[in-house]
Chain A
Amino acid sequence: MSSSPGQSLSTAPTQGPVSARVETPFQRFAAAFLEDRVAVAGLALLAFIILSSLIAPWITPQNPYDLTRVDLLDSRMPPGSQTMEGFTAWLGTDGVGRDLYSGILYGLRISLVVGVVSGLIAATLGMSIGLISAYVGGKLDTFIMRLVDLQLSLPSILVALILVAALGKGVDKIIIALIVVQWAYYARTVRGTALVERNKEYVDAARALGLSKSRIIFRHILPNCLAPVIVVLTVQTAHAISLEATLSFLGVGLPQTEPSLGVLIANGFQYMLSDRYWISFFPGVALLLTIVAINLVGDRIRDVLNPRLEK
């Protein structure tokens, strides 16, 4: 350092950061998230649901997809009864003799996989489109946004129905349909955020420093657009799950051999008003809990990431 007379730069006793340890943006976020007890409960519930569905093969007495293990004589048995196979069906059995408890956990797996995978792919696709649209601007931006408007003005059920009718049944086909239905939310959200970020001074600084356009978009703007994407992702996952359930309920979603929660609910629907309510009821409750848990978590994430509330 130069020795200019009487001038010492580090006369400051502490020229370090205001907070002591390295605090990543994620840690800050996590600390804020955990402040709300309801959200923490939602997160716990969600974790429980996901965990249970993951270890389903080990905690269920029966694999409901294995048709050799399912006995028609077990069908429509009330909760708590003993089955022919030799275990207790705590939640009862359905119309073809599947243990509902097993069915729900296995069905959750399918529902979650469908929801999460379609969400992630739609997010990636939508984000890229939104980023490019925001950065390039002009006619391309206008065109893409009108496409987004078009997509969003059509009811998602309708679009999904048409696609599934065209593509046929199957997990992969459902996922494709859900991606087509969802990408537009991400594109629009990310475009909005990217436009705001584009005008911030750190982007100007990156330009002054001679960094390339693509580097600026993906290295600078993108990480700062992730916040709203995560919010949309959680809410959309819940939406995708319920959409899939609806499609399956209507009979055009997943096949009977790979029942998701929607299929299970559909199967039991005819018995709803008779005294064999459990066949639809328990899968329905499971679906409800899953969606509520995801929404609680998503709401809290949105509140924490809300820039107006952030100091």
Chain B
Amino acid sequence: MGNVLEVSNLATYFETRAGTVKAVDGVSFAVGRGEVLGLVGESGSGKSVTGCAIMGLVDPPGRIVSGSIKLGGKELVGLDDQGMRAIRGKEISMIFQDPMMTLNPVLRIDTQMIEAIDAHEKTSKKAALARAQQALEKVGIPAAADRLKAYPHQFSGGMRQRVAIAIALLNNPSLIIADEPTTALDVTIQSQILAKMQELCADSGTALIWITHDLTVVAGLAHRVAVMYAGRLVETGFVDDVLDHPLHPYTRGLLRSLPSEGIPGQPLEQIPGMTPSLGRLPPGCAFAPRCRNATEICHRSSPEGTVFPNQRLARCHHPFDSVAQPVGLTER
């Protein structure tokens, strides 16, 4: 079974007046059919830029400097504008944190959805309308036929996000990239959206990249997880493996600093310091200044990825041992 998406050594740099910002520097991962990959990182980790790079949405002063992005075997880097437009919305769709990035506030929903269909296929208006209505029903919007005639501002936040998801699914893409779509939503609404996404991806076999900072969502939703820090991929693996036995000190620190992992009343474990500015990365490992296990080599040279059993990867000079004593969350 070939992978839906294969990213190898992707590097995206931004030329600013303060210097070159290496927003994404050497990121590789793959997503298979029907699989959910959680792309996890904090602000400045490069996760959103990675998503945009796959969609070809990186504008100057940013550009993809090296690496390859293969969608079903077809290379996307270097594809011309027309080629990319044929893919966006058809083979790959994107959902953003703010649904108003997808939805035009002055157009009706049916107009926008028909537009999305028309961009890739010639169908009659009636057929397009029927497909639009079906898509709205699939995402759980009640009275879909009436709601088609509404404007975005007449929907609540959660509903708008559902419409954005419906639009993403209209042309049966093989991959959906979701950039923090539920971060701004209430817990109960987030739960509804997550349930819907699970259902839809399972039914249609669409691959899903879920970009988030929230590890708990990844735990529930994803099959595999990729952790990013300062533009680099620091760890990948299956969700159970990474969350129970993290190999990279950053992953481990992140997991342990979650309030839900703390003991009420006791100070939380914290990762000292701050994320480095991407324009002024330290030589060597980007995480070294904050890492308790850092040694001389960590400050000198940037680690290559070490492969571990069960499709795991960690970019660390001193990864935790995955085979022996589990160093996960149960240890105190």
Contact = CB atoms under 8 A, between A and B. Distances in A.
Contacts of B273: 11-14
A124 B17 CA distance: 36
Contacts of A18: 277
Contact of B17 (A7, A11, A35): A35
A12 B289 CA distance: 10
A18 B273 CA distance: 12
Q: Is the interface of A mostly helix, strand, loop or mixed?
A: loop
Interface string B1-41: 00000000000000001000000000000000000000000
Contact of B272 (A4, A11, A35): A11
Interface in B271-290: 272-274, 277, 289-290
B267 A13 contact: no
A25 interface: no
- Chain B interface size band reads under 10
A138 interface: no
A210 interface: no
Nearest to A6: B267
Nearest to A32: B17
Interface string A1-27: 000101100011110001000000000
A7 B262 CA distance: 14
A270 to B, nearest CB: 53
Contacts of B267: 4, 6-7
Contacts of B290: 13
Given A7-B267, A18-B277, A12 B272 contact: yes
B17 A13 contact: no
A266 to B, nearest CB: 47
- Dominant SS among interface residues on chain B: loop
A283 to B, nearest CB: 41
A35 B270 CA distance: 41
A3 to B, nearest CB: 13
B215 to A, nearest CB: 22
A123 B272 CA distance: 49
A27 to B, nearest CB: 14
Contacts, number: 17
A12 B274 contact: yes
A13 B273 CA distance: 6
B170 to A, nearest CB: 29
A237 B168 CA distance: 50
A12 B273 CA distance: 4
B272 A13 contact: yes
Nearest to B268: A7
Nearest to A11: B272
A55 B272 CA distance: 60
Nearest to B289: A13
A4 B266 CA distance: 11
Contacts of A14: 273-274
Contacts of B270: 11
Interface string B281-324: 00000000110000000000000000000000000000000000
A14 B267 CA distance: 21
Nearest to A5: B267
A14 B272 CA distance: 9
Contacts of B277: 18
A15 to B, nearest CB: 8
Contacts of A7: 267
A35 B61 CA distance: 14
A14 B280 CA distance: 14
B285 to A, nearest CB: 15
Contacts of A35: 17
A11 B273 CA distance: 7
Contacts of A4: 267
Interface in B204-220: none
A18 B270 CA distance: 20
A11 B272 CA distance: 6
17 contacts: A4-B267, A6-B267, A7-B267, A11-B270, A11-B272, A11-B273, A12-B272, A12-B273, A12-B274, A13-B272, A13-B273, A13-B289, A13-B290, A14-B273, A14-B274, A18-B277, A35-B17
Interface of A: 4, 6-7, 11-14, 18, 35
Given A13-B289, A18-B277, A35-B17, 12 more contacts: A4-B267, A6-B267, A7-B267, A11-B270, A11-B273, A12-B272, A12-B273, A12-B274, A13-B272, A13-B273, A13-B290, A14-B274
Please give me the 5 A-B residue pairs with the lowest Cβ-Cβ distance, nearest first: A11-B272, A12-B273, A7-B267, A12-B272, A13-B273
